[in-house]
Structures are given as structure tokens and as C-alpha cells.
Amino acid sequence: MTQPIKFSPCLRTITKIFAETVLSTGLGRFQAEPGPMDRVEGARLRSMFLPKLSREGQKAIGDNLSFVRCQLNHYGVQIEEKEFSGNGTALMKKVLQEGKCDRVPGHILELQQKMHVEWLGQRTPAQLSTLPDYVIAKYFLSFGQPDPTKTTFIVGIPLGRDIDVYSEEMTKAASNIAGLYHKKALGLKTHTLFIGWDAAAVEKAASGHVVQEKSLDINHGHTPV
């Protein structure tokens, strides 16, 4: 079970301003309550509700009676409760016709980014082992660009004992970053991918994995250079 995420006072304040309707899940997704539910792009919402409720729209509402409320929260649309009736179809049509779901407000996008960064900072290599792009972003990128100064230790990503799709995806993600080295180590109990900017240090960590397996903290995965 995913542990509750604790955000800083700053983010809690921002979240409260946003009526405490937005949260980040265990997969780092930005979702709205009541739900939780992902954001649906404005163009798709228009096709679902305009000029009339489509089959896709009917299914969305049927699957979650709070669909309209969730999407309004995602787009920061504030309404009076008296405006909402039934399943919210009429209100959603009105909001879409007024262009209120054409784009996500800047303050919500900012909140989404801040919450994601903090969520990512609380995840361990083990918790991110099935999310290669998040591993690379957390340890090796700054503003979307490779940053050798961001992480000065070798990161060990614990994977399944057998070579699987996550292992391949993690290896591919590391290979796509110029100057980043990686090497797999298959221990008696664990399969770990070591990643870092120093080729010799990566090699050393991988070579010593079997010996260090018992003492290696897989939950944190940090091997000092």
C-alpha cells in the first residue's frame, strides 16, 4: 500500500488555496478529487460534451459520477453549488462553451510541478524501479538537461531477479543520456543496475555487488563514489 505523501507547509498552503482538491498519487500522477481522476485535455472534453453528450462522455460519467467535478477542479473552474445539477452535463457544456477548459491555469500547472518535484524527492530508487524516466529526472537531470553535478554518488536501482521489461527500459533510459554510465550486476538475491557519471566508480560498484549484497541498502541504493 502506498504510504501517504507528506508535503511541505508551502505546498500545503497552495493546496488549501486550491480548495484541497488536488493530490499526487503513488505513481506521481496529478489527480483531482473527488475521484481521484486524471485531467482530460480540453479538446477531448469538447468532443465528449459538445454539441451533445457523446458515447465517450456518457461512459465517463457512468464510470465516475464525479467526472465533471474532477475536470472542473483540474481547470480551476469555480462554481456555485446551485449551478450543479444531476450529473453536471449541462454545466460542463456551459463551461466548455465559455472556453474555461481550453487551457490549464498557470497557477495549477505550477502547483502540479511543485508537488511532483516534492513527491519525486521522497521516492527511493526501489520505489522508482518501474519508472525509468523518473529515475533519470530525479538523479541526473536539471531543467531537463544532463547535470553531472546533481548526483555525485552511484545510484543502484534494484530490479527483479529475472531480466524483465523494466530492466530493459531502465537500461535504455540510462543509455539515452550522454556521458552517463551504467552496468548491471546480478547477485545471489538481487539484480541491480548501477548508474553514474564516473565509469570507474560504476564498474567498481557493479563488480562488488555480490560481495556487498548483504550490506547494500537496496531501499536507498546509494553507493558513495
| Structural domain includes residue 85 | yes
Terminal-residue alpha carbon distance, the chain: 33
Tell me the C-alpha distance between 87 and 72, whole Å.
Answer: 13
Please compute, for residue 66, the number of CA atoms within 13 A of its CA located in the half-sphere on the CB side: 13
**Is residue 45 within 8 Å of 137, Cβ to Cβ?**
no
Do 151 and 177 belong to one domain?
A: yes
Q: What is the pLDDT of residues 175-188, one digit of tens each?
A: 999 999 999 998 87
Q: Is 159 left (phi over 0), alpha (psi -120 to 50) or beta?
A: beta
**64, part of any domain:** yes
Q: Of 20-24, 65-69, 188-192, which range is least confident?
A: 20-24
Regarding whether 96 and 37 lie in a shared domain, the answer is: yes
Mean pLDDT taken over the chain: 83
Q: Are residues 139 and 168 in the same domain?
A: yes
What CA–CA distance (Å, rounded) separates 92 from 191?
Answer: 50
Please, are residues 171 and 193 in contact by the beta-carbon 8 Å criterion?
A: yes
Provide the residue range defining the domain that includes 135: 123-223
State pLDDT tens for residues 100-141: 999 999 988 988 888 888 888 888 999 999 899 999 999 999
- Confidence band (pLDDT; 50, 70, 90) for 223? low
55 and 134 co-located in one domain: no
The pLDDT value recorded for residue 102 is: 96
Same-domain status, 80 and 161: no
pLDDT of residue 27: 66
- Residue 173: left (phi > 0), alpha (psi -120 to 50), or beta? alpha
